[in-house]
Amino acid sequence: MTRAAYANEVTNKTTPALALRHVTKRHGAGDAAVTALDQVSLSIPRGTFTAVMGPSGSGKSTLLHCAAGLDRPDSGSVVLDGYELTDADETALTRLRRERMGFVFQSFNLVPTLTVAQNVALPLEFAGRRADPRQVRGLLARLGLGDRIDHRPAELSGGQQQRVAIARAMLSQPAIVFADEPTGALDTQAAREVLGILREAVSGTGQTIVMVTHDPVAASYADAVVFFADGRIVDTMSRPDAAAVAARMAGLSAPAGRSGGAR
């Protein structure tokens, strides 16, 4: 390996998948302005699974939007896979999203007229690349969908559809996968399967995942939980267990005035 290649290798291993520094984002203007993120700093190491939790309105979606370059912070810096998003124009952001990020949503967002294999290959084809059919088949087999590749989404259960969406998000081995309530529409058993798959993608293949969830059991599959309240990170927990996460969330969700604070 050349010295430059070695230096590059070292940089790639040590640069976080995602780093936010002092990110502030306001929605609206004037008296109606809401500070959705207030000086948020956060670093997501490569190959880790992070859960983001917090009461409704605490800034979780705004965090994901700023991290993915879908929202521009008012101040602060967002560096994804070594790229400063706050300097990038829309064309560059679109490219970064296509090439370096994967997305999984609560509603699976599959194209109903396409087969499972075609859905999985779609983002890569949008990026102007051809999906290797063997790779698509291999990934689907790994996610327990080997006998479903020619089915349409409507022929699958919710859990199966979400596994297709996960395969679609991970095919290009993006630097980071953002998942917003990925188990929100699933029953307990299907949710467990999906969480097991996300966990395995991190432990087995080194995928980096950031998942917003309100479910303490879902969060317990992560390596760490970051707790938001009022646009700020108020706590973090590593190797979380569901009971501890639930207890922490109960504290955060207490109605204003009952927690003994001055607000």
Give me the least distance between CB of 142 and Mg ion, in Å please: 30
Is residue 98 a contact residue for ligand ADP (CB under 6 A)? Answer: no
Which of the choices ligand ADP, Mg ion, none does residue 206 contact, using the CB cut-off of 5 to 8 A by kind? Answer: none
- Rounded (10°) CA dihedral 246, 143, 207, 241: 20
Cβ-based neighbour number of residue 148 at 10 Å: 21
Which of the choices ligand ADP, Mg ion, none does residue 59 contact, using the CB cut-off of 5 to 8 A by kind? Answer: ligand ADP
Residue from 19, 36, 136, 219 binding ligand ADP (CB under 6 A):
36
Residue 53 pairs with which residues in a beta bridge?
A: 227
Please identify, using beta-carbon distances, which residue of 58 and 160 lies nearer to Mg ion. 58
Cβ-based neighbour number of residue 211 at 10 Å: 26
Which of the choices ligand ADP, Mg ion, none does residue 158 contact, using the CB cut-off of 5 to 8 A by kind? Answer: none
Positions in 37-76 near ligand ADP (CB under 6 A): 54, 56-62
- First-to-last alpha carbon distance for the chain, in angstroms, is 58
Match 């602060």 to its residue by tokens: 76
Binding site for Mg ion (CB under 5 A): 60-61
Please identify, using beta-carbon distances, which residue of 167 and 178 lies nearer to ligand ADP. 178
Sign of CA dihedral 200, 176, 131, 162: positive
Match 């070695």 to its residue by tokens: 6
Which of the choices Mg ion, ligand ADP, none does residue 162 contact, using the CB cut-off of 5 to 8 A by kind? Answer: none
Residues 119-158, one symbol each (x = binds ligand ADP by CB under 6 A, - = not), give ----------------------------------------
Please identify, using beta-carbon distances, which residue of 57 and 158 lies nearer to ligand ADP. 57
How far CA 218 is from CA of 65, 178, 234, in Å, comes to 21, 15, 20
Please identify, using beta-carbon distances, which residue of 55 and 144 lies nearer to ligand ADP. 55
Closest CA to 245 of 53, 86, 100: 53
Please identify, using beta-carbon distances, which residue of 60 and 148 lies nearer to ligand ADP. 60
Is residue 106 a contact residue for ligand ADP (CB under 6 A)? Answer: no
Give me the least distance between CB of 212 and Mg ion, in Å please: 7
> How many residues belong to the site for ligand ADP (CB under 6 A)?
12
Please identify, using beta-carbon distances, which residue of 15 and 61 lies nearer to Mg ion. 61
Q: Alpha helices, DSSP H only, in the chain?
A: 3-14, 60-67, 90-100, 116-126, 133-142, 158-170, 188-205, 216-219, 242-252
- What span, in angstroms and rounded, lies between the C-alpha atoms of 41 and 33? 21
Is residue 220 a contact residue for ligand ADP (CB under 6 A)? Answer: no
- What span, in angstroms and rounded, lies between the C-alpha atoms of 218 and 196? 10
Give me the least distance between CB of 71 and ligand ADP, in Å please: 8
Where do contacts with ligand ADP occur on this chain (CB under 6 A)?
A: 27-28, 34, 36, 54, 56-62
